[in-house]
Amino acid sequence: MDPRPMAVGIDLGGSNLRAALVDDRARIITHVGQPTGADRGPDAVITDMVAMVHHVIDEWCRVTESTIRLDTVLGVGVGAPGPLSVQRGRIIRAANLPGWSDVPLRDTLSQRLGVRVELDNDGNVAALGEYWVRGSQHDLVMLTLGTGVGAGVVMDGKIVHGHYENAGELGHMIVVPDGLACNCGQRGCLEAYASASNVVRRVVEGIQSGEPSCLSEAVRRGEIIPASRVGECAADGDKLCERIWDEACKMLAIACVNIQHAFNPSIIVLGGGLGAAGSALLDRVSRHVQDQRWSLHDDFPSLERSRLGADAGVVGAAALILTSHDPNPTD
Ligand SMILES: [Zn+2]
């Protein structure tokens, strides 16, 4: 019996590199991960990516005692930090990948593997993955609230790229005129208020400036604090966490209202480290949306947490290949 259509998805991050063999039902069959080691430069990392593709396929063959080969896999999708050019398949440069400047990742991988390779921005592929696992019926916008705020817009089943291929950089929409400085050089970006890293950083800075908080001891011990814990402390009445958390949720609500007006999607997904807080995030963002939104009609996108979680990168990357093969996974 022929195996189901499959593709390999690769999630190239500044810290971690993951690859997974994914079938056309969006299921991970086999996977492998390791530190990226980005400081070794593109050649060494690309060599690792080639080895990982072979590894996940070999592992599948070993487990099933089947004999699929690389050329029976439909292709390899890669999600990577931008800015990058989807059309040219090149990473132009990436803050978290030192030494990666105008790297022809797509064609290099394709030549070395002998299969079709597609490359796209990591925020875009995560959005495509979330779209895919929902049965592909909904226009969807995703915000990945992690180290930064990644984002992707999927309309009519297609990632929106824009003329200059930088559409959907919603983490850098300005939500506060002359607001907090952002790494991108602008002020008042959503990312400055609502990335997981910035939420935690702002709490730590508050503690270091003498504000009392239930996280003071943990900060003094040098513990790494997950952003979701700030949400828990806010719910428990910690004043510092409450202020920072509520501001993050309010900025996200403003962003969601703006997204509604710009794209009119049926779903907005909030993922990443902040999204892991679940209802502690979604309920409060929803409350702020009620305060912000217009009243001309009742339709508003449903706010949802990520269904794929940490797998959004590899599943979404595989979806670059599999959704162009068959847009609807079937059960
Ligand atoms: Zn910015």
Per residue in 211-269, pLDDT (tens digit) is: 999 999 999 999 999 999 999 999 999 999 999 999 999 999 999 999 999 999 999 99
pLDDT at res. 95 = 75
CA of 257 to the centre of ligand 1 (A): 18
CA of 86 to the centre of ligand 1 (A): 21
pLDDT at res. 328 = 46
Q: At what angle do helices 105-113 and 42-64 cross, to 10 degrees?
A: 40
pLDDT digits over 263-292, tens only?
Answer: 999 999 999 999 999 999 999 999 999 988
φ/ψ of residue 238, rounded to 5: -70, 120
Residues 74-95 have a mean pLDDT of 92
Q: Is the pTM here over 0.75, yes or no? A: yes
Count of Cβ atoms closer than 10 Å to residue 229 Cβ: 18
Count of Cβ atoms closer than 10 Å to residue 309 Cβ: 12
Residues with CB under 5 A from ligand 1 (ion): 172, 182, 184, 186, 189
CA of 132 to the centre of ligand 1 (A): 28
By C-alpha distance, which of 82, 124, 80 is closest to 269? 124
Query: Which pLDDT band holds residue 64 (cuts at 50, 70, 90)?
Result: confident
CA of 106 to the centre of ligand 1 (A): 27
CA of 221 to the centre of ligand 1 (A): 31
Residue 120: pLDDT over 80: yes
Residue 321: pLDDT over 90: yes
CA of 187 to the centre of ligand 1 (A): 7
CA of 149 to the centre of ligand 1 (A): 9
pLDDT at res. 203 = 97
CA of 163 to the centre of ligand 1 (A): 20
Average pLDDT, the chain: 92
Would you call 207 helix, strand, or coil by DSSP? helix
